[in-house]
Structure 1
Amino acid sequence: MDALIYPTYFPNIAHFVAMLKSGGVCFEVCDNYQKQSYRNRAEIYGANGKLALTVPVSYSQKNRQLYKDVKIANEDNWQLQHLKSLQSAYSMSPFFEFYIDDLMPLFETKFDYILDLNLKCFEILTDGLQLELNATKSVFFEKKPLNKSDFRPLVKRNYEANNLEHYTQVFTEKHGFISNLSVLDLLFNEGPSAELYLTRQSTELC
């Protein structure tokens, strides 16, 4: 059964576990955009603990907008800031140099819409993880979807996946293990073993 899930900015590990354990992926693109979610936010492990990378968007709560119509506020140089944050957080990780060049199009290309950026994130990350995930897009909104596993709640920032298996992180000795960060954290620390890690996790935590 396909996973119905939101495309997010540098998806967290629970997102990838859900997608990998499903028959296919259907991205929800027909909903109204909501703030305070992972649609435009990713979390990484910085020197001082959990660090949020937020893509600025032009959005007003007064006027409902479809997710696919929400534009990125490109006035601020957010891409350079995010790249510097990743370099600061992961330059000492075992596989940072191995993957960073593949990620550079996300920081060097101007994206007008948050959805386009997130879909490109998914494409680049699945290549890096060497995953074959068949992805489609929703064509209408279903409150209670038929014939799909509904993983849309994973987009909420208050969602916790505390049963994920531990792996070595750059700053583990300072702050301990931080669960369910962006899959970038797993990729930079575990490299080619990241796929095996994802397959070992249970979708029950999703």
Structure 2
Amino acid sequence: MSTIAIDLQYLPNLEFFCAIWEAEEIWLCSEDNYQRKSWFNRTQIKLTNKVETLSVPIVGRRPRVPLAEVMIDYSQNWQKNHLRGIQSAYGKAPFFEFFFPYLENVFEKKPAYLWDLNLGFLTICLKLLQRPVKLRKVEKKAIVQADVDLRWLLRPGGDFSDRKYYQPIPYLQLFGLDFEPNLSILDLLFCEGPSARRLIQKSIKKE
């Protein structure tokens, strides 16, 4: 599989990485319109008693606006809340101290647009996973040339088990006895460190 077109996620979940793992190029189209109830501005982490959704606030309702024009609302103290939530969830994880500074660095850049924030996080996550894949920004008309188009298919409203990309492979999480699948890549990185790459490969659903 050579090229996969997909929409950006905020700190993407495991299904996202399973879906793009074998691609040589990932195509991203900033001309696509923003869609509510997507992963574009939200992710999920595991706290002591629950799975918590972290959402990035955006300026206005943003109906039918290109992704590249969705602005982050910095009037809300969301960055501090997200960092505190991540620290609370994973501060005692084995690889927290190693990976957390990379996240802080992306947050501190405070990009105006959510597209740039998500792209920054995707770039660093792929680096931490040691997955050398080319990220390419393409125009909407070029998407038809992609080998696979996954834009807006991986949505919060659907069940990942109904799709063909991710099968949960349990690993040791910090809280609770029950394994929570398909959380943000942060959960896997902080808990498993260098083993995260191998676990993603094992989690790719076989057709």
User: TM > 0.5 between the two?
Assistant: yes
> Aligned partner of 1:80: which letter?
K
Q: Is the 8 A contact 1:30 1:141 kept in 2?
A: no
Matches within 5 A, 1:63-82: 63-82=63-82
Q: CA deviation at 1:35?
A: 1.2
Match of 1:182 in 2: 184
Equivalent in the alignment of 1:165: 169
Post-superposition shift, 1:105? Answer: 1.4
User: Any residues of structure 2 matched to 1:95-134 within 5 Å, and which?
Assistant: 95-134=95-134
1:41 paired with 2:42, answer: yes
Aligned residues: 201
Please state how far the C-alpha of 1:202 moved relative to its aligned partner: 2.1
Distance of 2:7 and 2:136 partners within structure 1: 11
**d(CA) in 2 for partners of 1:116, 1:107:** 11
Mapped to 2, the partners of 1:156 and 1:141 lie a distance apart of 23
Q: Which range moves more in the overlay, 133-142 or 75-84?
A: 133-142
**CA contact 1:80–1:107 (8 Å) conserved in 2:** no
Q: Indicate conservation of the 8 Å contact 1:15/1:154, yes or no.
A: no
Number of the residue aligned with 2:59: 58
* Partners of 2:33 and 2:146 in 1: CA distance: 22
Give matches, 1:20-31, under 5 Å: 20-31=21-32
2: distance between equivalents of 1:151 and 1:204?
Answer: 17
Deviations 1:125-150 (A, max 9, x none): 112112101110121257x8344212
Change (3 A) 1:154 1:89: farther
Partner Cα separation in structure 2 for residue 128 and residue 44 of structure 1: 18
The one-letter code of the counterpart of 1:177 is: F
8 Å CA contact 1:39, 1:155 repeated in 2: no
- What percent identity do the matched residue pairs reach? 34
Shift of 1:40: 0.3
Secondary structure of 2:43 counterpart: strand
CA distance, structure 2, for counterparts of residue 199 and residue 181 of structure 1: 16
Q: CA separation in 2, counterparts of 1:128 and 1:154?
A: 25
How far does residue 154 in structure 1 lie from its aligned partner after superposition? 4.0
Quote the Cα distance in structure 2 between the aligned partners of 1:106 and 1:185: 17
Q: Whole-Å Cα distance in 2 between the matches of residues 201 and 192 of structure 1? A: 15
For the residue of structure 2 that corresponds to 1:117, the secondary structure is helix
Counterpart-to-counterpart distance in 2, 1:141 and 1:92 = 46
- What is the RMSD computed on CA atoms of the aligned residues? 1.8
Pick closer, same or farther for the CA change 1:56–1:30 going to 2, 3 Å: same
Q: Which runs of 5+ in 2 are unaligned?
A: 162-166
Instruction: Output the TM-score relative to the length of structure 2.
Output: 0.90
